[in-house]
Amino acid sequence: MSAVVLAFRSLPVLGAALLLVLGAYAAARLLPESWRPLKLMWPVLLLLGAFQMWSNGAAAALLVVGNIVACVAAARLLTLTTPLQDLLDGLVALAGPFRFLGADPERFGLTLALMLRSIPFLLGSARDVRHSAMARGLERNPRALTVPVVIRAVAYAQQTGDALAARGIGEAADPPVPERKHAEGRG
């Protein structure tokens, strides 16, 4: 649906898409959830809409902001109604035709799964560091907020890499050939 909205870039298509998305939310009994992501985005949407209105007119502003709203709402509905494993399996299947270019769909799926698993950890780490900095009166010190988060993120990535290596995941298909050692005393 997002591809259609973005490809046609017309107000009637946008209106139909928004009605379709709202109807899908209603059918899924998730209508109150339709506005949740927009609560966080409204300042950006307001600024973007104001800039578009100033530079290209009201219709362009409505179209740009409306397209973003439709795409975000549709993506939110997809994530609310589809199990994560099914989404990952679908993305792996979509990457399948790119095998001839050297793509590894399973590795792509693993990468996405690791990324999705890492996001809550990183958000929790940032929250914990912020609370610690506030307790020490350093909530305005950028170094006190960023350095511990970066250190935790690197440690988490290292632990994840070690766990994958211990299971043999992510290793090259053909192991590297060891270097030949020259015997001492020979010329």
The torsion angle over the Cα atoms of residues 12, 14, 16 and 22, rounded to 10 degrees, is -150
pLDDT at 112: 86
Place of tokens 């709203």: 69
Q: What is the pLDDT of residues 106-133, one digit of tens each?
A: 888 888 888 888 888 888 988 998 898 8
Write phi, then psi, for 81 (nearest 5 degrees).
-110, -5
The three-class DSSP label of residue 38 is helix
Write phi, then psi, for 80 (nearest 5 degrees).
-75, -30
pLDDT beneath 70: ranges in the chain: 170-187
pLDDT at 151: 93
Q: Is the pTM of this model over 0.85?
A: no
pLDDT at 38: 82
pLDDT at 52: 93
Tell me which residue of 88, 59, 68, 85 sits closest to 21, measured CA to CA.
Answer: 68
Q: How far apart are CA 73 and CA 36, in angstroms?
A: 9
Structure tokens at 19: 């009605």
Please give the single-letter amino acid code of residue 16: A
The three-class DSSP label of residue 174 is coil
Provide the percentage of residues in the chain whose pLDDT is more than 70. Answer: 90
Burial zone of 58 (CB within 10 Å; 0-12 exposed, 13-18 middle, 19+ buried): exposed
Q: What is the pLDDT of residues 81-92, one digit of tens each?
A: 989 889 889 988
Q: How far apart are CA 163 and CA 114, in angstroms?
A: 12
What's the Rg (C-alpha) of the chain?
24
Q: What b-and-e string marks burial along 22-56, b requiring 16 or more CB atoms within 10 Å of the CB? A: eebbeeeeeeeebeeeeeeeeeebeeebeebbeee
Q: How far apart are CA 132 and CA 128, in angstroms?
A: 6
pLDDT at 187: 47
